Amino acid sequence: MEINWFTYFAQIVNFLILMALLQRFLYKPITRAMIQRKLQIKATVDEANEKRIAAEAELEKYRQQNLKLQEEKEEILLKTREEAEKERQKLVDKIQLEIQESKRKWYQEIAQEKADFLINVRRKTLEEIYRVLRLSLADLANVQLEEHIVNVFLQRLETAQHELANIAINKINVSSAFPLNNEQQKKISQTIEQYTGVKDQITFEIQTDLICGISLTFNSQEIVWSLENYLQNLSENLTTVINN
Partner 1 sequence: MTLSPDQVIFWQKGLITINATLIVTWVIMALMVITSWWITKHLSSSAKLKDGQNILEFLVTIINEQIESATGQKASDFLPFIGTLFLFILVCNILTIIPFYLPPTGSLSTTSALATCVFIAIPFYGIKSKGWLGYLKNYLEPVPLMLPLNIISELARIAALAIRLFANLLSGGLIITVLLVLMPIFFPVIMQVLGLLTGVIQAYIFAILAMVYIASGMANEA
Q: Confirm if 153 and 225 have CB atoms less than 8 A apart.
A: yes
Segments of the chain assigned E as strands: 172-176, 202-206, 214-218, 221-225
Q: Which residues bind partner 1 (CB under 8 A)?
A: 1-12, 14-23, 25-27, 29-34, 36-37, 40-41
Strand partners, 205: 175
* Nearest distance, CB of residue 49 and partner 1, angstroms: 17
Length of the chain: 244
- How far is CA 111 from its chain centroid? 21
Task: Select 38 or 81, whichever has its Cβ closest to partner 1.
Answer: 38
Task: Select 14 or 194, whichever has its Cβ closest to partner 1.
Answer: 14
What are the φ and ψ backbone dihedral angles of 172, each rounded to 5 degrees?
-130, 135
Task: Select 46 or 109, whichever has its Cβ closest to partner 1.
Answer: 46
* Nearest distance, CB of residue 28 and partner 1, angstroms: 9
Give the closest residue to 179 by CA, choosing from 209, 146, 202, 149: 146
Task: Select 20 or 99, whichever has its Cβ closest to partner 1.
Answer: 20
* Nearest distance, CB of residue 47 and partner 1, angstroms: 14
* Nearest distance, CB of residue 55 and partner 1, angstroms: 22
* Nearest distance, CB of residue 60 and partner 1, angstroms: 31
Strand partners, 215: 175, 224
Task: Select 4 or 208, whichever has its Cβ closest to partner 1.
Answer: 4
What is the b/e burial string over 167-201, where b = at least 16 CB atoms within 10 angstroms of the residue's CB? eebeebebbbbbebeeebbebbbebbeebbebeee
> Which 3 state secondary structure label does DSSP give 202?
strand
Task: Select 45 or 99, whichever has its Cβ closest to partner 1.
Answer: 45
* Nearest distance, CB of residue 1 and partner 1, angstroms: 7
CA gap 231, 229 in Å, rounded = 5
* Nearest distance, CB of residue 38 and partner 1, angstroms: 9
Task: Select 22 or 167, whichever has its Cβ closest to partner 1.
Answer: 22
